[in-house]
Amino acid sequence: MKQRYPSQKEITIRTCRKCREAIPENALYDYCPKCFKRIDEVFTKIRDYLAQYPGATSFEMEQELGIPHHIISNFVREGRLVEIPNDYVHIECKGCGCLLLSAHHKFCPSCRSKLEAEIESAKNQLKKVDIVDKAKMHIRHK
Q: pLDDT tens-digit profile of 42-55?
A: 999 998 998 888 87
Q: Is residue 63 within 8 Å of residue 101, measured between CB atoms?
A: yes
Position 5 confidence tier, pLDDT thresholds 50, 70, 90: low
Specify the pLDDT at position 44: 92
Alpha-carbon span 119 to 46, nearest angstrom: 28
Q: How far from chain centre, in Å, is Cα 82?
A: 16
3-state SS class at 83: coil
Alpha-carbon span 33 to 22, nearest angstrom: 11
**pTM higher than 0.85, yes or no?**
no
Buried b (16+ CB within 10 A) or exposed e, 65-92: bebeeeebeebeeeeebeeeeeeeeeee
